[in-house]
A = this chain, B = another copy of it.
């Protein structure tokens, strides 16, 4: 990806809310994503997409492999949706690789100790994009200790996807989601928060495809 250094790059914000919830930067709430338009014009499509309006306080830093985003959960997922949608609206077959992480600021070692997990209830609603997306999605609760109950949270997340209508099926190493891009990203983001209510460190990865020339193999399964 072209290198784009955000003018808002800055140390992690250290504000705290009234109810003593950790600030997103302190808690390591953020994303890495790579936007991949399969076209000779990829530099133009990526640069234009990354330039969508972003909420005040959202940190965005792009290097040659991926783009780092840090901010509140709703701001991060809303920005990802806007960027991917802008690329998708070109009509170019575009794939986004998305990683959401929470609960492990720092790098090799987490800088917050294990303890009470924290996650807001739900993401802010994201308006439908009108773009159909297909995703392979994996969810990783990273919990050490005897009191973990991450599977029940994962089952709850998958039930949420089923109720939302984005769940297509489980596959090896991934869950297949299909639907409007906003619904797919909301499914992934809400699951990340659902598990985050019981497990501090949660990462989730998704490969999200738009405008594929292949017939969707999901069509017959819905």
Contacts and interface: CB of A to CB of B under 8 A. Distances in A.
A3 interface: yes
Nearest to A70: B172
B40 A171 contact: no
Contacts of A107: 170-172, 175
A13 to B, nearest CB: 14
Contacts of A150: 144
Number of copies: 2
A102 to B, nearest CB: 10
A109 B38 contact: no
Given A32-B172, A108-B170, A151-B109, A66 B145 contact: no
Contacts of A174: 32, 66, 99
Nearest to A137: B65
A43 B32 CA distance: 26
Nearest to A3: B214
Interface string A162-189: 0000000011111110000000000000
Query: Which of A2, A28, A107 has the most chain B CB atoms inside 10 A of its CB?
Result: A107
Contact of A173 (B1, B99, B144, B155): B99
Contact of A38 (B39, B99, B215): B39
Contacts of A95: 34, 36, 97
A83 interface: no
Given A2-B213, A142-B142, A32 B65 contact: no
Interface string A11-37: 000000000000000001011101011
Interface of A: 1-3, 28, 30-32, 34, 36-40, 42-43, 63-66, 68, 70, 93, 95, 97, 99, 101, 104-105, 107-109, 134-136, 138, 140-146, 148, 150-151, 154-155, 158, 170-176, 203, 205, 207, 209, 212-217
